[in-house]
Amino acid sequence: MTHNRLRSIDQNVMHDMALVEHFRAAIGMRTFILTPSYPFMFVGEIVSMVGDQVEIFAETTHFAQLEKRNWLIHVHNIEVFYIEFPGDPRIPELNDML
Amino acid sequence: MIRRYHVVAIPIRIVVNNFGDHNPNGQMYVLKENESKVKELVRKNPFTPVELVQPLTIRANEGDTVEILFENQLPFAAGMHFQDLDYDVLTSDGANVGFNPSSLAESGNKLLYKLDATFEGICFFTDVGNVSSTEEGSSIQGLFGTLLVEKRGSWWTDPVTGGPINSGVFADIHHPFLPSFREYAWFFNDEMEVDDLTGNPPLNPMTNQEGESFHGVNYRYEPLHNRLKLIEEGVVSPELEGEEVHHDSWVFGDPATPILCGYRDDPAVVRLIHAGSKETHVFHYHVHQWLRDPGNINSEIVDAQAISPQSHYSVQPLYGLGSLQGAIGDVVIHCHLYPHFEAGMWGMNRIFDTLQDGSQCYPNGTPIAPLQPLPDRPCPPQPTKEKPGFPNFIPGKVGCKAPRPPLGIVGGRGMTELEKNAAVPNARPGAVFADSCLGNPVVLEFNVSVIDLPLVYNKQGWNDPKGRIYVKDEELEDVLSGKKEPEPLVLHAPAGSCVRINFTNRLSHILDGDAFQLVTRTYEVGFHIHFVKFDVLVSDGANVGWNYDSAILPGETGRYEWYADTELKAFFFHDHLFPTTHQQHGIFGSCVIQPRFSKFLDSRTGEETDHGTQITVAHPIIPDYRDFALFVQDFALLFDRDGCPIQPPPFPGSLEDPGIFAVNYKNEPLQFRLGKDCDPAYSFSSYVNGDPVTPILRAYEGDPIRIRLLQGAHEESHSFNVHGLRWKSERPSNDSQIRSQQHIGISESFTLETEIPRAGDYLWAFETEEDVWNGTWGLIRAYDQEVNHLIPLSDRPLPDSRTKPLPEVTGKPPAPADPQSSLPPEAAHNPPVRKYRVVAFQTPIIYNSFGDHDPYGIVFALEEDVKDIRRGKKKPEPLVLRGNAGDLVEVTLTSRLKPDLFPFPNGIYPYPPVKEQAFYPPSLRISLHVNMLNYDVTTSSGDTVGFNPDQTVGPGETITYRWHVQDSMGTCAMWDMADLRNHRSFGAFGAFIAEPRFTTYHDPHTLEPAQTGTNVILKHPLNGDYREFVLVMHDGVRLENKHGKVIIDPLDGVIPKADPDDEVDTYDFGSRGFNYRSERLINRFRKHPVLGDLFSSEVHDDPATPVFEAYPGDPVVIRLTTPSERRRSHTFHLHGHNWKFDPRDIDSRIDSYTGHMVTGVTEDLLLIGGAGGTYNYPGDYMYRAGNIRWDIEQGMWGIIRVHDKTQPHLPLLDK
């Protein structure tokens, strides 16, 4: 198979665009995201897309001190995600033991 | 860059504290420029510590060449042997090994060492010219030091003056673009000679007997017995008892031991070095945590770390001094082994919050030395009258015990004006001078009391009438009434919680006297915690330095606050006021910081709970798991049911290993599990003897589990093994090594995370001989069908309804296992099958050329080698089997044991001894257990355990085990499980090596394929050729000399001769070596009594222990294991070579030693640069133990020979 450099760049662009569009279509919905870097986990509503960054209102992260604020997460930093589209299973409830 | 030091080895009087205790025969290394000064100061101050008398600490940078002109003023040939550095072994080894020219300097001579500092870190040095373990030895008397290698481009200054320094245990290290940091060298040293002012061994005023041997730091120690004298004489508050104020500077002033000074948030590194000779210590540093492997962000976070002789670690506290919460005050650093702590092995880290420029004083009028702020950090504020800074806002009274903390005691006092000025804005009980809980987290509140109650440890009625335990207040009645079985308190809290404890002291005021202990007024008690964030001044649960006394008096309730900032694992809590006196009675527990959002369920009922040693954890995202906590104990002071003390010490109050062993207040000694047939092979069988009273950890097949491994008491190392399961040694890392064994010292905490692949009974055991003999074992029981006492995990398939009845005790041995009926759980279909036929039989083993031998050896060998071994054509060596990743290995084992070839037909095995000797006749059955491999535990673990079938074989019988090599993990240990008392130390052990797929194994001399052997060449189509050297480091051997007389090691091996007063613990007895060989130095010394020549092959020929051969640069892997058998941990060190601490992890630290060598350990040492080290220098390299007392003299050493010319008998590798 011949190597087509332009074609591989296209693949990256298509991949990123697809992600961006997917998240853009989900503005206002809740999402669950895992990232390889601190603070590793986010649960919250997708507020907007800022370029190729997802803005979410983090209702839950791994650390309570970092919650209840907006986070911008670059799509390259998203390792795993799930979006709670209407009719799909709910993201599990994460409650601190009270 | 070349750095040059002129170092002199001198005899020196070492004064070890302000009470005038001293070592008249000390030895040390010192820079030539300080030699005359230090000698003059010592002459003028015969009973006062001299600052310059300290272990020599010099520095260089990565990439430097270091030239050391070494001058020897000692009366014997001595040298400087450097660990971790690269050097030409023929000129700079600081030793006289094999056929190398000696690189020791004769008395009065000088020589030059040239060393390359390749890697940043600690390069410990010591003398190996005189390895006598007596007070005539050099290391014991202080001849050690370190070269600290800093990052390239660094420079260093004196923390007091800010000027340059050439040596010193404390320095500030600077770098053009890295943060400056405080560097503290901390040398543990033990067993050094020490006399009191009168020239006699120090006495303990409580027992009026000789005190504990020297256990100190940087040539200093601050034992309780000296400070106790000041109380008894009324010099300080005579109403005090002693132990509760041992570390209290208000009463006694500061100790002579090191005080590591810094400002809040300063970056710091403690260069921790075990320069001692014998014990494996546990370094514990209050308030702070660090990465076990400082360069590896995915290594475990620890706050206590066991360290074996001649080992070292860099301890880099996360968040700097005072940790995340910014604590200020005195932070005790100590060996957590209580007898060592009491004997003086402690110091402090003093964290100031105001500038110290030399104008301030401590409350007792002693000037505070200046401390330069680090240049790249904000300057701390100047002290003022209103805000004098620590310790001068604390309302204490010199000569009296430290004051109680403000706010913390229910009904207690508020704050003074000065305290208010120093307090955080939202000061509250338990968090006054540091805000331990960041922000406004969830608060969990626990009500806990400490109570007295008798504890019964086993079915035979062994009991501790003076048990003392922590218990939740809500369960007080149930525990005291016997409705609830006492167990160590284990609390559970999700990460991110603020934990508040209301702690009530309900202990009786007095701990009464008995055969073990003298009457002690234990009138206050604390709740000291590990790992979490807290205000050390008021919530330490201790009484340290100029801090408050945060203990609780009888009937009082105190409040502590801690913060679990992230998932931390199980942290230890215990008393810190009288721990040496009463922790071994049961005052310990744990709080497990579970993942955030976890729910904790009673595993039996499914109801929510917040405590328990066995619970189920449910989580909305990650898999649910079973959570189990095990606390091993030694020094358990038990009586039998007739009230007779079990293993009392020589006199009450002695700390010479009193008592016995247990787990979670229970034990199950093997002596009571012989069954009707008196066959040890069924000691672990529940069919014959019923289930043990020790914990049975219950789960269903397939369940994830987390074992929280802790040690509750008191002095000794233990070796935890699980048969049939394995886990990552660095839990956060995906690149970690796999392990089935974990060494533990008191206060360490390990989380062993794994899952149970198949139903069956899995043995867990603290498996050194004396531990397991006395009952430190139990089961993990995985059910294949539903039982009514265990809820299923919510995210796992429901277990099938029960169709088969649960097995029951029959009193008879179980049916033989049928390994051919199942495949190992992880085996693929149609895996490649590799077959071995192994025979177990008895044969004499010659351990060296001097005739030391074991006439009753028991060995495993391949069937085809048996004849040659029996005829003496082949020398026995530990059996080494190999398999490649993916293989199914079928090992057919046959027993040819004969009853008349066992040494003690009367069934009592007298030497090497264990505590609680009892009738336990040798079994004629035998088995082969291997750790780490994957197999069906009910058929192929080699254990007849619980309700599993019989996996041992009797004479003439065979069994074919099926082991699956699931990965190329390297070394796995093998040993017999049929009779741990009468088989293993005689040689019934070996190793299995799990190699990469497609590897072939070849004889190093003929290159023919090899079936077995400790020395092979590995050939691999991608990896190239490797030399593989297998070293089995073992102890507890019963040897006879050439006249048939039993050798009582270690003392029979001591050079020049043993001190009759030497204390030998039971687990130190026995001979030791590598691969059924021991080159005991005493034999050589008798022939040629020159200490400096003991390792010389020119003088003595090569040792009997393996001499492995290679060419410079040959890739070499050393497979190292200790399958047998005693509790004393050894260190392994190879001269001139380094390897990765974790060979699978590229970020792992680089070492030249491996500590904690104890039963079940497996290590793989891939030599960096191959044979000859980084620069491939030819020559003879000694491998050896790091324990001067008592391993090296006793024969634990050998040679790796790197030839510079091609040898006819040693073909070159195909590289």
pLDDT tens, B909-927?
Answer: 999 999 999 999 999 999 9
Cross-chain Cβ contact A97/B621 below 8 Å = no
Across all residues in chain B, what is the average pLDDT?
Answer: 96
Which phi and psi angles does B416 have, rounded to 5°?
A: -80, 175
**How far is Cα A27 from Cα A23, in angstroms, rounded to an integer?**
7
B325, B436, B438, B596: which to substitute to probe chain A, counting the most A Cβ within 10 Å? B596
Tens of pLDDT, residue by residue over B326-341, are 999 999 999 999 999 9
Classify residue B380 by its DSSP letter.
P
Residue whose structure tokens are 């606050």? B561
pLDDT of B193 = 95
pLDDT digits (tens, 9 = 90+) for B1003-1027: 999 999 999 999 999 999 988 999 9
pLDDT level of residue A5 (50, 70, 90 thresholds): low
- The mean pLDDT value for A35-55 works out to 95
- Is pLDDT of A1 > 70? no
Find, in chain A, the residue whose alpha carbon is nearest to that of B437: A65
Region B512-533: what's the mean pLDDT? Answer: 96
Digit-coded pLDDT (tens) for B433-451: 999 998 778 899 999 999 9
Query: Measured between alpha carbons, how far apart are the two ends of chain B, in Å?
Result: 34
B450-508 pLDDT per residue, tens? 999 999 999 999 999 999 999 999 999 999 999 999 999 999 999 999 999 999 999 99
Domain boundary among B175, B210, B235: B175
- DSSP result, B665-713: TB---GGG--TTTT-GGGTTBHHHH---SS-EEEEETT-EEEEEEEEEE
Three-class secondary structure assignment of B94-105:
CCCCECCCCCCE
Q: In this structure, is residue B340 part of a structural domain?
A: no
Shared domain for B795 and B921, answered yes or no, is no
Interface of B with A (CB under 8 A): 438-439, 441-442, 444, 494, 496-497, 565-566, 596-599, 620-621
Q: Note whether B670 and B722 are same-domain residues.
A: yes
- Residue position matching structure tokens 């509760």: B244
Q: For residue B620, which residues of chain A lie inside 8 Å, CB to CB?
A: 92-94
Q: What is the pLDDT of residue B880?
A: 98
Same-domain status, B787 and B845: no
Residue B932, domain member (yes or no): yes
Q: How confident is the model at residue B566 (pLDDT cuts 50, 70, 90)?
A: confident
What residues does B399 pair with on adjacent strands?
A: none
> Is residue B505 left, alpha or beta, with left meaning phi > 0 and alpha meaning psi from -120 to 50?
beta
In a domain, B206, yes or no: no
pLDDT at position B151 is 97
Single-letter amino acid code for the residue at B732: P
CATH code for the domain in which residue B1040 is found? 2.60.40.420
- Report yes or no on B339 lying in a domain: no
Domain boundary among B155, B175, B195: B175
- Picking from B444, B496, B621, the nearest residue to A92 by CB comes out as B621
**Same domain flag for B805 and B858:** no
d(CA B136, CA B507): 47
Position B545 in a domain = yes
Q: Are residues B1085 and B1149 in the same domain?
A: yes
- Identity at B775, one-letter amino acid code: G
- B525 and B469 inside one domain: yes
- Across the range B740-745, mean pLDDT stands at 98
Q: Which domains does chain A have, with CATH numbers?
A: 5-83 (2.30.30.100)
Instruction: Please write the tens of the pLDDT for every residue from B121-150.
Output: 999 999 999 999 999 999 999 999 999 999
- Cβ distance A64 to B441 less than 8 Å, yes or no, reads yes
Question: Are B598 and A62 in contact (CB < 8 Å)?
Answer: no
pLDDT of residue A6: 53
Measure the CA–CA gap between B242 and B890, rounded to whole angstroms. Answer: 61
Q: What is the mean pLDDT of residues B619-625?
A: 95
Q: For residue range B1068-1108, list pLDDT tens digits in order.
A: 999 999 999 999 999 999 999 999 999 999 999 999 999 99
Tokens linked to A78: 């998203």
Is A6 near chain B, with CB under 8 Å? no
Q: Are residues B804 and B842 in the same domain?
A: no
Burial category of B201 from C-beta neighbours within 10 Å (exposed 0-12, middle 13-18, buried 19 and up): middle
Structural contact between residues B854 and B987, judged by C-beta atoms closer than 8 angstroms: yes
Contact (Cβ atoms closer than 8 angstroms) between residue B925 and residue B679: yes
User: B538 and B669 in one domain?
Assistant: no
Interchain CB distance below 8 Å, A96 and B598: no
B792/B842 same-domain check: no
Tell me which residue of B724, B725, B675, B1136 sits closest to B921, measured CA to CA: B675
pLDDT above 90 for B382: yes
Residue B837 and residue B764 share a domain: no
Whether A64 and B444 lie within 8 Å, measured CB to CB: no
In 3D space, the residue among B189, B219, B283, B314 whose CA is nearest the CA of residue B17 turns out to be B219
Query: Residue A8 has what pLDDT?
Result: 57
* Contact state of A64 with B597 under an 8 Å Cβ cutoff: no
Q: How many residues does chain A have?
A: 98
Residues of chain A contacting B496 with CB distance shorter than 8 Å? 63-64, 96
pLDDT of residue A3: 53
Number of structural domains, chain B?
4
CB-nearest to A97 from B438, B494, B566 is B494
Same domain, B571 and B697: no
Higher-pLDDT residue of B1215 and B1212 is: B1212
Q: What would the pLDDT profile of B978-987 be if each residue is shown by its tens digit?
A: 999 999 999 9
How many Å apart are CA B257 and CA B234, to the nearest integer? 24
ipTM above 0.95, yes or no: no
Give the minimum alpha-carbon distance from A94 to chain B in angstroms, rounded to a whole number: 6
Indicate the pairing of strand B704-713 with strand B749-755: antiparallel
The predicted model gives B871-892 an average pLDDT of: 97
Q: Does pLDDT of B535 surpass 70?
A: yes
Reading the block at residue B119, the tokens are 């890697």
Res. B962 pLDDT band, cuts 50 70 90: very high
Closest residue to B494, CB basis, from A92, A93, A96: A96
Q: Which residues of B touch A97 (CB under 8 A)?
A: 442, 444, 494, 497, 597-599
> Which residue(s) pair with B1150 in the sheet?
B1140
Q: How many residues does chain B have?
A: 1215
Say if B877 falls within a structural domain. yes
The answer to the question of residue B460 being in a domain is yes
Does residue B171 lie in a domain region? yes
Residue of A nearest to B439 (CA): A65
**Subunit contact A63:B566, Cβ cutoff 8 A:** yes
Q: CB contacts < 8 Å between A and B, how many?
A: 35
Parent domain of B606: 417-613
Task: Please identify, among B558, B592, B613, the residue that sits at the C-terminal boundary of a domain.
Answer: B613
Residue A98 confidence (pLDDT) above 70:
no
Q: Are A94 and B597 within 8 A, CB to CB?
A: yes
Q: Are B670 and B762 within one domain?
A: yes
So what's the pLDDT on residue B787?
Answer: 98
